[in-house]
Structure formats: C-alpha cells, structure tokens
Structure 1
Amino acid sequence: MSPPGRGWALRGRNNFRSREAPQVDARKARREWLALARAIEARGGTVVALTSPSELLTGMPYAAECGQVVAREGHAPWFVLPRMMSEHRRAEREHWAALAERMGFEVVDPGVGIWEAHGDVAHIDGATLLFWGGRTKLEGLEAAARWFPGEVVRVQVREPAFHGNMALLPLPSVDRMLVCPEVIAPESFTRLRERFGDARLLVVTEDEIRRYATNGLPLGRELLAPSVVPESVRSRLEALGMRVVSLDMGELCEKGGGSSRCLVSRAVVEDGAVSIPDEARLAAVARDIETDA
C-alpha cells in the first residue's frame, strides 16, 4: 500500500468517477487510507507501506498497479513490474522496484506492452485470471503471463471496467465470484462459465459495478467495502455467509475512483521469504498521518 501525501490531488482523472469529481481533501483521504490499512492488520494481514517520494506521483495510493507478487516454492518470490498506460504513473514502478529488491523479491519486467499488474489479476480455484481490454492490452498480458505458473484464464473486459477488478471479484471463502457480464467479452464470459460453472457466478449489473460491487477487499468471510456498494449486493453476500464491513471512502473512492481492492496489491508468501524495513511498517506511516491530522 502507499498512503496519499499531504498534497495529494487528482491528476490523471482517467476513470468515470474522477473525470468530473471536485478536488479532494487530502487529509481526509489519508485518514480513509489509514482506516483501511488498520482494518487489514486487525484481520491478520501485514501492511507494507511505501510513502511516495514525490507529490507528482498522485496515482501511488492505488497500489493494485504497483506490481504483482508471484510466490515460488524454495525460491525468492517474483515481483512482476507493471507497464502503466498513464504517463504520469510510469515513474512509480522504479520506487516499488527498489522496495521489492530491498525486501528480497526477485524483480522482473514483462518488457513490452501495457500491463497494469495486480488490478488485472485474480485467483480462485487454483486458477489465475489475467484481464485485458481496459488499460492492460493483450500484448502486455502475454508478456506478463510467462511469470504465472499453472492454469491461466484470459478474460477480456471493456469500459467502465478499466481493470479486471471492476469486472470480477473472487470470493474464495464461499466458493463464488461476483461477475458483470455486461463488461466482459461474450467469449470470455463463456470461458468463465465453462471453467467455473454457472452456480459459482453471481451476476451483477453495470450499474452495480459503477457503485463498486466488485471492488471490495475480501479477507476470509469479511468484505472490506466502500459505503457506496448497493444494498442489493450486500444482501446477496450476507445471504452467502459473508459479512460486509462498510468503510467511508468519500475521497479515495467516490472522488478518486479507486476502492479498497484498488488500494492494495495483495501477496501471500512463505514465512521468512521476505523482510520488511521498519520504516515501511504501518506503525511508522500511521504516526505521520496522525500527526498531520
């Protein structure tokens, strides 16, 4: 994760929320970020936080695009670097790469194309889903795909799903996924149906994904979700045994256009596989945010 800076502002305005949004309140955005980070750690996660070295790198809080961790048994995990569409975000990766190397990851680069990393990656039932057609292009996906072992399912999406994490949300604890066929190419949706079965696909509408139905962060049977998620979606999830935890994300989500899932690049690695610098732990970053508040 990467906290918004004191001067955080909307710069690229490259999604349907941020294009017309009023300017953000940076201090409130920082408090929203900290609430999410603490909620993750309260549920057993460990937050690694990279503070942006420049106020110009306004996209860094949306850390789903920082890279993708791929665990390898007996070897250092790979950290697959992104290749961003937006020019103002391309410099982010050098800072993420430096932190990844310091932590002990093996940093690798797809080398060609546009590939926006974790925002276009999902895992369920032993398969890796790789998305393209929004910001990620097919050439970039294929360049990155060689770093993913095992079964890979390619899924084409369209706007307003600028990333795959707006089109589909795996819920492994209940063996389901939320999926929006309206923003998925017909042949890709057929592929999902054939691979996972209709009973596991919970269909949501384009209107519901515009209210971030697929952008919550699942942690076990809890979903950390922005308060704008529709009640219809909450009810369906709760009927499956999920608990939806509502978070105020007026600045980061409702204005900035990225939800709890967009603010995190999630990784699972073996104990001892990497080390976390003290200054990148949540306690150090939280002190700065609380002092500012």
Structure 2
Amino acid sequence: MDLFLMSPPGRSWALRGRANFRSREAAPADARGARREWLTLARHIEARGGTVVALPSPSDVLTGMPYSAECGQVVAREGQAPLFLLPRMMSAHRFAERDHWAPLARRMGMEVVEPGPGVWEAHGDVATFDGVTLLFWGGRTTWEGLEAAARHFPGEVLRLQVREPAFHGNMAVLPLPAVDRLLVCPDVMAPESVALLEQRFGENRLVRVTEADIRRYATNGLPLGRDLLAPTVMPPHVVDLVQGLGMRVVPMPMPELTEKGGGSSRCLVSRASVDAGRIQLPAEYRLDAVAKDIEADGG
C-alpha cells in the first residue's frame, strides 16, 4: 500500500509560525482556498493509486498540521507492524501535533516510538532511493536528533547535511525513482554530502538544480510513478528538465499553501510503503469522509 498521511486545513486556518522564506512576508491566507488546494492534491494522489488517511486538526491553534511531512515517519518492518517515529519539532507552535498523530497511528496498528533527544522533523528529512534511506540534518533537524532516529531505520543509511534556505532535506534532494534519477541542489548541501551522493549513486544519476530553483520549489513536487505533482511556481526550465527525463509534470496551483504558507505538495504528505495486511484504515479518516466536510462549506 502506498500510504499518505495528510491533514486538511481547518476553516479558520491561518499562517502562524511564519518560519520559512515564503511565509515570513506573506499576506494573510485564505482558509477556504487552502482547503480546496489540499483536497485537489489528495484527489490527485488517490487517482494514482495512493491511499490517503486524513486527520483533521482538532484545534484552530495547530495551523502547522497540514504540512504533515512533519507528522512523523512510518517505517515498514518485515513481518511486523510498522513503526511510527514521532517528531521533535523546532517550532513551539507545532509541539502538540504529535499528541494527535500518535493515537491515530496506534489505531492504525502501528507501534509508536519516541525517537530520542534533539530536533528531528521526521518525513521532511527522510527520503529513499535505490534501497537506501537518506536522512538529513542541518536545516531544522539537528545531528543529535538525526542520530536518535537513525537507529530505527533498517538497511543502508546515508547522513546528509543541508543548509538554509533548505530547512528540510526535501528541499535539497528529490528522488525520481521512475526515471532512476535524483534531483539535487548542491548549493544548499555540504560539499561532503554531495560527494556521498555521487559516490553511492554515481554522478550521472544526479541532476542538478540551483538555489534559485529550489526557492521556487524545484525539488518539492510529489512524484507518483512517472507523474510529478508540482507547484505552478516551479521554474519552466526545471519543468522542461524533469519532463526531458521522462516524467510528466502535473501543475498544482497552490497560492495559499505554497506561495504563502511555504510548503509544497511533497511537504503536505508523510508517505510510506506498507503491508496492507498490517494496517487498519479508520473509515472516518478516509479521504471521502473528510472531503464531505470540505465540500459542505464550499471549501
């Protein structure tokens, strides 16, 4: 099962933390527009075979919940229930989110795990490519936080360092497994981390973009097979580059969630491949059930 944990914006969703280069200077957000954008993305995911489990925010205060790449990390285990590694967030206004994701993970049949000390922002700093887990630190996640989480990941792990404006690893590296390439921004990575990627995967599998490109979310599209659900702010030359690799870029207009909120399609999901027989899907959190509430108020 290709599982996507998501959380729709609430009716009074607003920008609160303003902790990234987009949201710091953004105009007030339109909650209804954000809800429509979120639902469109979720529908696109399910149309391509993904399974969305959507947790509505229980509080208007928890405005960061739609960016559920930081809700936690699902780690599949052979013959066992998946682990759900809780995050340790940098921003105080997001601390309480885990108190709502953890019960849902348990209800779904996962084993909930505290990763340990340090800041660790979960799925936003995790990627996989060619059977290797990529763990990132240096934006918001700290080295201590990475190491505490790393022991829960089986198999080969690469530790990679990023820097601002890439506040998460998902702004520095985008795996495109359908075309056997990694979209990489060396400008926001430590040189030794770029060298690690070259050594492990081969320089010819790395496709480079610039810092200016990632400020327009070049690495923050969501790949689903050969489709890349990408924000419309992605630079045209990057769209051409990705399509030249054999992908199809599907434009996702998200003026509220991306252009104001600062998180793109990849930031709005925590994605995992899990054994469907090890997971329960609560009916009230399936997309069709949650969508009714969004559609009822025109949002």
TM-score, L = length of structure 2: 0.97
Q: Aligned pair 1:18/2:23, yes or no?
A: yes
Q: Aligned pair 1:192/2:210, yes or no?
A: no
Post-superposition offset of 1:202: 0.4
The equivalent residue for 1:165 is 170
What is the rounded CA distance, in whole Å, between the counterparts of 1:180 and 1:269 in structure 2? 29
Aligned partner (choices 212, 219, 228) of residue 224 of structure 2: 219
Post-superposition offset of 1:5: 0.1
Q: How does 1:221-236 map to 2 (within 5 A)?
A: 221-236=226-241
Matched to 1:197, the amino acid is G
What is the rounded CA distance, in whole Å, between the counterparts of 1:28 and 1:292 in structure 2? 11
Post-superposition offset of 1:94: 1.0
**Alpha-carbon RMSD:** 0.5
The equivalent residue for 2:3 is none
Q: Which runs of 4+ in 1 moved over 2 A?
A: none
Post-superposition offset of 1:237: 1.0
Aligned partner (choices 273, 278, 281) of residue 278 of structure 2: 273
Post-superposition offset of 1:6: 0.2
What is the rounded CA distance, in whole Å, between the counterparts of 2:106 and 2:243 in structure 1? 40
What is the rounded CA distance, in whole Å, between the counterparts of 1:271 and 1:24 in structure 2? 37
Aligned partner (choices 237, 242, 247) of residue 247 of structure 2: 242
What is the rounded CA distance, in whole Å, between the counterparts of 2:251 and 2:265 in structure 1? 10
The equivalent residue for 2:257 is 252
- Secondary structure in structure 2 of the residue aligned to 1:110: coil
What is the rounded CA distance, in whole Å, between the counterparts of 2:188 and 2:253 in structure 1? 26
What is the rounded CA distance, in whole Å, between the counterparts of 2:135 and 2:151 in structure 1? 11
What is the rounded CA distance, in whole Å, between the counterparts of 2:172 and 2:188 in structure 1? 6
What is the rounded CA distance, in whole Å, between the counterparts of 2:142 and 2:297 in structure 1? 40
The equivalent residue for 2:99 is 94
Q: Aligned pair 1:30/2:20, yes or no?
A: no
Matched to 1:93, the amino acid is R
Post-superposition offset of 1:213: 0.3
Q: Which runs of 5+ in 2 are unaligned?
A: 1-5
The equivalent residue for 1:106 is 111
Post-superposition offset of 1:292: 1.1
Aligned partner (choices 200, 203, 212) of residue 208 of structure 2: 203
Q: Aligned pair 1:45/2:50, yes or no?
A: yes
Matched to 1:131, the amino acid is F
Matched to 2:262, the amino acid is G
The count of corresponding residues between Structure 1 and Structure 2 is: 293
Q: Aligned pair 1:133/2:116, yes or no?
A: no
What is the rounded CA distance, in whole Å, between the counterparts of 2:253 and 2:236 in structure 1? 15
Post-superposition offset of 1:97: 0.3
TM-score, L = length of structure 1: 0.99
Q: Aligned pair 1:60/2:65, yes or no?
A: yes
Post-superposition offset of 1:211: 0.3
- Secondary structure in structure 2 of the residue aligned to 1:107: strand
What is the rounded CA distance, in whole Å, between the counterparts of 1:151 and 1:267 in structure 2? 17
- Sequence identity, in percent? 74
Q: Deviations over 1:156-184 (max 9, x none)?
A: 00000000000010000100011000000
Q: Which runs of 5+ in 1 are unaligned?
A: none
Post-superposition offset of 1:3: 0.1
What is the rounded CA distance, in whole Å, between the counterparts of 1:65 and 1:292 in structure 2? 27
Post-superposition offset of 1:272: 1.4
What is the rounded CA distance, in whole Å, between the counterparts of 1:30 and 1:271 in structure 2? 28
Matched to 1:226, the amino acid is P
Q: Deviations over 1:67-100 (max 9, x none)?
A: 0000011100000000000000010001000100
